[in-house]
Amino acid sequence: MKQSTTRRNSLLLSALAVVVSAALLGGGTYALFSQQESYSIEVSTGDIKVTGDLAITSAWSQGENASERENGTAQADGSYVVAQGGVFSTDGAKIVMNNMSQGDGASYTLSLANESTVNMQYRVYLQSKEDNALTKALKVTVDGTECAAGAGTTSLVGWTQVEAGAALGDGAMDIEIVLPWGSNDAAGQTANLYVVVEAVQANAATYDFVTTDKTSEIATTESGAEVSFGYGAATAEPVVVDGHGSASVTTWQDLWVQDDLTIRGVNFLQGITVSVNEVAEPITITIEDCTVYACNQELLRTGYQRIDNSGDGLCLDIETMGQPVTVIVKNCKFVGENDKTLDRNGYSNLDDLLGLNNRGRWKSRGYGLSLGAVSGNTNGLISAQISGCTFTGIRGNALQLYSIACPVTVENCTFESWGCNRQTTAKEKSDAAIRGDMKEGSTLTLSGNAYLLAEDAGENGIKQVNVDNYTGPVA
């Protein structure tokens, strides 16, 4: 199965021809005769294209004490089944290893081809969302070199210059993944590993990977002051967080701001909450070109004073706190847990884990993007624009709006999945791609959105749009 990588549409346009006519005019104002000639100028852009094919080549199960390994059995769909019941496969870009046991392993080959018509540079990296005992235990070897599989990114091939049409190294990479014996803590956990090939034109700016547990470490201000996102101690000037598509933040982030905030090109692997301290004048929160994975509260056992802000299964929450705020979220991807067996009301044992006296148990899980999930309101919100975003694997409401009293626009978004969590007898909830309530004076404008679940799908009667006091077309 072929996978292609094309990046930065602003730089890398598909083949385009432009004809421009230039006219030369002769003769004066009152000339009786004139002559006109035209010349065409044809312009076309180059194309950068790298294709890749990730294939599984073998799988096995090896007994404890280095006993003889037993090879897995190839299936008709290309997957392998090993002795202990593990099933390993790939869809051409993603490696999936289900029911893995200690001693299990598999080998993969990544074949790459350069179909670019101009000089370019490329890199290859391993990406993992999870940071748990399983990812820490996995032994990943690429072309004989062991590398880490924990949350974030691991470079396999650094930025490499390549001429148009030239080969990419030897054209193939060998990848081996093994769960060694002694990995008892990894039982019952999940890991999804992605091999990513990224290519840009040869003279484009490139950035190395950054992995951190603090957003402040990749944040800047115009004054050069050190950035603080602390509760009651936020930096009182505009803050920019630019990850250039190469930064990953590994822990849940509780960000407090007191001025404009812009976040772009960052992968948040455990969710993010942005709250506004008291401000002197209206501010704007802009989040663009980011990927945000859902928060897992089970991982937040220590070190957080405001864990009640996190919300189990929540990707992004913005809290206006009664302050005048404009919210812009564009071209982001929100990735939920996609586990319908989880309770709809959040992590049921949160109290036992953290001793927080019922904090968190009442929270609904599984929001992709929420405005006001913690406070239950959006007081102060001036307007919100959500555009070009994708919501996938969300098991509650993809977009949750609380007490909206202003214009909200949702356009050109794709809702791939939402709802379907196991309901509870304590408090049943209705799910929707877009859910909330609109107050007097508010408007909700929906345009160009794609809903990939049918209206009223599922046993819970899931709606595409279920917003109180809203009337209008779904798209």
- Cα 378 to its chain centre, rounded Å, is 25
Task: Look at strands 443-447 and 407-411 and give their pairing.
Answer: parallel
Residues 315/369, Cβ–Cβ less than 8 Å: yes
Strand blocks (E) in 180-315: 193-201, 210-212, 219-220, 229-230, 233-234, 239-249, 253-257, 261-268, 272-276, 283-288, 291-293
Confidence tier at 426 by pLDDT (50, 70, 90): very low
**Cβ neighbours of 199 (radius 10 Å):** 26
Which of 400, 346, 350 shows the shortest CA–CA distance to 372? 400
Q: Is the dihedral of CA 394, 295, 188, 351 positive or negative?
A: negative
Residues 335/294, Cβ–Cβ less than 8 Å: yes
Show the tokens assigned to 389.
Answer: 């975003």
Q: Which contiguous run of DSSP H or E holds residue 134?
A: helix 133-137
d(CA 149, CA 438): 44
Residues 421/395, Cβ–Cβ less than 8 Å: yes
Summarised one tens digit per residue, pLDDT across range 359-411 is 444 566 778 999 998 888 999 999 999 999 999 888 788 999 999 999 999 99
Q: At which residue do the structure tokens 């909330």 appear?
A: 436
Which of 168, 85, 154, 78 shows the shortest CA–CA distance to 121? 168
Comparison of pLDDT for 7 and 163, the residue scoring more: 163
pLDDT at 26: 36
Q: Give 222's DSSP letter.
A: T
Q: Give the residues across from 367 on adjacent strands.
A: none
Q: Is the dihedral of CA 141, 212, 417, 298 positive or negative?
A: positive
Q: Which contiguous run of DSSP H or E holds residue 327?
A: strand 325-330
Taking CA 467 as the corner, what is the angle to CA 297 and CA 439, rounded to the nearest 5 degrees?
100
- Cα 311 to its chain centre, rounded Å, is 18
Summarised one tens digit per residue, pLDDT across range 96-143 is 888 999 999 999 998 989 999 999 999 888 887 776 788 888 898 988
To the nearest 10°, report the CA torsion of 110, 111, 116, 122: 30
d(CA 104, CA 176): 11
pLDDT at 354: 53
Work out the mean pLDDT of the chain and round it to a whole number. 82
pLDDT at 118: 93
Confidence tier at 27 by pLDDT (50, 70, 90): very low
Amino acid occupying residue 123: R
Helix-then-strand count for the chain, H and E: 2, 39
Confidence tier at 194 by pLDDT (50, 70, 90): confident
- Cα 438 to its chain centre, rounded Å, is 28
- Least confident range of 154-168, 274-288, 330-344: 330-344
Work out the average pLDDT over 183-206: 85
Long-range CB contacts for residues 348-357, cutoff 8 Å, separation at least 24: 350/297, 350/312, 353/297, 353/298, 353/301, 354/300, 354/301, 354/307, 356/307, 356/308
Q: Give the residues across from 41 on adjacent strands.
A: 20
Which of 470, 364, 392 shows the shortest CA–CA distance to 129? 392
